[in-house]
A and B are shown apart, each in its own frame.
Chain A
Amino acid sequence: KQEVTQIPAALSVPEGENLVLNCSFTDSAIYNLQWFRQDPGKGLTSLLLIQSSQREQTSGRLNASLDKSSGRSTLYIAASQPGDSATYLCAASTGNQFYFGTGTSLTVIP
């Protein structure tokens, strides 16, 4: 069974810092990897999707990378803002379902 781990579980940074969130998965046979943002008590907002054949995707201040062979993905957030405070989840797709990590709770301090 696919196991997804996210490190760190929580992160607090001052506004303006660049930061990296880590995601690892045990089964490299994935179709894609998706990063989501979740605000307290809310649903998931899709941030970036990386297909298995891709190495990275960028959207604004966000950049996600994927290394299938090592079972790792990273989400890089540049010039963090207080509005970036949320929980970030990664999910690996193996066909019929997405396997989620437990998330990284990010706090950006003004």
Chain B
Amino acid sequence: GAGVSQTPSNKVTEKGKYVELRCDPISGHTALYWYRQSLGQGPEFLIYFQGTGAADDSGLPNDRFFAVRPEGSVSTLKIQRTERGDSAMYLCASSPRPADTEAFFGQGTRLTVV
């Protein structure tokens, strides 16, 4: 596709439910990142994939958060037993290769836990 695509754009869920957020990176980009942004704050790192493997998951806040990228393209961020504090904008980015290339972000998924 032309850019990074994230679906859904908005998600409202009840406390305790399970949610999945999807990211379609730019075709051919091997590096994929997930970030979380709270209102008025800068994005905070969650996880980085190089190909199919999670090269750095040090930003995942706890074991309720998990992400996969089984074929090295589309990635899914999974949140179990959602809490109100999980409400935020979830951003995905991709780049042709890690570290020294430009990162392109999607439009984000606004998650609201009620």
Chain A residues close to B by CB (< 8 Å): 4, 31-32, 34, 36, 41-46, 49, 51-52, 89, 91, 93, 95-103
Contacts and interface: CB of A to CB of B under 8 A. Distances in A.
B22 interface: no
Contacts of B45: 97-99
Contacts of B102: 34, 46, 49
Interface in B85-105: 89, 91, 93, 98-105
In this complex, the interface size class of chain B, counting residues with CB under 8 Å from chain A, is 20 to 34
Contact of B41 (A44, A49, A102): A102
A89 B42 contact: yes
A49 to B, nearest CB: 4
B103 A100 contact: no
Nearest to B57: A96
